[in-house]
Amino acid sequence: MKQKIENLRLETEAAIAGAESGRALYEAKMKFQASLKEVMSGMKDLAKEERPAFGKIVNEFKQTMESAFEERAIVVRQKEMEEKYRSEQIDVTMPGKRVVSGALHPITVVKNELIDVFAGMGFKVFEGPEIETDYYNFTALNTPKDHPARDMQDTFYLAENLLLRTQTSAGQVRVMESGKPPIKILSPGRVFRSDDDATHSPMFHQMEGLVVDKGITLCDLQGMLAEFARKMFTSSTKVRLRPSYFPFTEPSVEVDLSCSECGGKGCRLCKGTGWIEVLGAGMVNRRVLENCGVDPDVYTGFAFGMGIERIAMLKYGVNNIKTLFENDVRFLKQFKD
Ligand code: DAH
């Protein structure tokens, strides 16, 4: 019996010393416990009086071995931790991988700025559909079929009465039809015309404005445009109204801003005039108010419409509209804050 215990001690001590991982140590312990159980089962073959002494020996042996396991476990755990730290070590001084972040497109930047400027004056945003009926895009805006003003805009028709809107003005009608004055809306969006050169693109963006209430006059329009010019360009930018014609406004005006490049002295950008044309506007034609169910003897209003690309081109000195649609990263990068 004693020999058996001695053998088990030698064998287990060797196993403990050789265990390099928690797993190996655990397996050695399982094996030891099984062997010990076997040794203890031999106790029944001993004489009765020998048993207590032998039991004591076995108990002591068991305790000694258990503390040997415990001690080894501390060492192995420490070793494993060190190994883990070593393998997971990182060099915090190493330069990181650069993440290239994107930026808003200049059209979006200008659109957001415009919304910001007009929201400050109490305008709410309304977005109409890009596919419109002939009625909303033209007829309700006092431009019935065969009206010569239809030639001002080369239209993409999808069906006889369905088209890609040529102007965000179409939204004016939808707004007036669905709500009562006072109305103060801003309507940004894509518009489409069969037009293509350095300053025109078949798809471009417009920003429409509409104000309808009692007692609105051309002075209100002028004051609001002055504020827009100062905020969007420089605090010294001036506004000039010239008579013009649009079927949906009466009177109609073309709005010029003093040239931001030369300050009004005359340069290449303003073709020597000191002024740059930026938008169309006017007092809403009473016929349009009538078409939308608004009483023109009670209410008056003004409207304006501008090309967002045109504003962006003026603001950033871009001379070909195509560069705004090509999405060449070298061009777009220049607009990153
Ligand atoms: N819709 C016109 C265009 O596309 C621009 C315009 C002119 C809009 C006068 C208006 C306006 O609201 O009053 O050329």
pLDDT for res 336: 80
Please state, in angstroms and rounded to a whole number, the distance separating the CA atoms of residues 256 and 225.
10
pLDDT at 184: 97
Token couple for 90: 């990182």
What integer pLDDT is reported at residue 317 of this predicted model? 86
Query: In Å, how far are 48, 116, 186, 252, 308 from 164, measured between CA atoms?
Result: 108, 27, 20, 24, 18
pTM higher than the cut 0.75: no
Is the preceding omega at residue 251 within 30 degrees of 0, hence cis?
Answer: yes
In angstroms, how far is CA 304 from the centroid of its own chain? 29
pLDDT at 151: 77
Contact partners, residue 270, CB within 8 Å, separation at least 6: 259, 261, 262, 276
Nearest atom in ligand 1 to 307's CA: 4
**Residues 150 and 167: beta-carbon distance below 8 Å:** no
DSSP string, 84-131: HHHHT---TTSPPPPPPP----HHHHHHHHHHHHHHTTT-EE----SE
CA distances from 159 to 131, 147, 155, 156, 163 (A): 11, 19, 12, 9, 7
Nearest CA to ligand 1 atom 2: 305
207 lines ligand 1 (CB under 6 A): no
**Ligand 1 geometric centre to CA of 247 (Å):** 9
Instruction: Among 138, 165, 167, 173, name the best residue to mutate to test ligand 1's pocket (greatest count of ligand atoms within 8 A of Cβ).
Output: 167
Q: Where is 288: in which H helix or E strand? A: helix 286-291
Residue 43: what pLDDT?
A: 81
CA distance 265 to 7: 109
Residue nearest to atom 3 of ligand 1 (CA): 167
Does residue 306's CB lie within 6 angstroms of at least one atom of ligand 1? no
Task: Choose which residue among 222, 246, 252, 286 to substitute to test ligand 1 binding: the one with the highest number of ligand atoms within 8 A of its C-beta.
Answer: 246
Q: Measured from the CB, is residue 282 less than 6 Å from ligand 1?
A: yes
Instruction: Quote the tokens at residue 140.
Output: 């309700």
Say how many Å lie between the CA of residue 281 and the centre of ligand 1.
6
- Provide the residue type at 108 as one letter: T
Contact (Cβ atoms closer than 8 angstroms) between residue 176 and residue 279: no
Measured from the CB, is residue 278 less than 6 Å from ligand 1?
no
Q: Note if the bond before 181 is cis, omega within 30 degrees.
A: no
Collect all residues with Cβ–Cβ distance below 8 Å to 301 and sequence separation of at least 6: 181, 183, 210, 211, 212, 213, 216, 283, 284, 289, 294
Per-residue pLDDT tens listing for the chain (337 residues): 788 888 989 899 999 999 899 999 999 999 999 999 988 888 888 888 888 888 888 899 899 999 998 999 999 999 999 999 999 998 889 998 888 888 899 999 999 999 999 999 999 999 999 999 999 999 999 998 888 878 777 899 999 999 999 999 999 999 999 999 999 999 999 999 998 888 889 999 999 999 999 999 999 999 999 999 999 999 999 999 999 999 999 999 999 999 888 888 888 888 899 999 999 999 999 999 999 999 999 999 999 999 999 999 988 988 888 999 999 999 998 888 7
The gap from C-alpha 94 to its chain's centroid, in whole angstroms, comes to 31
User: What is the per-residue pLDDT for 191?
Assistant: 97
pLDDT given for residue 148 in this prediction: 81
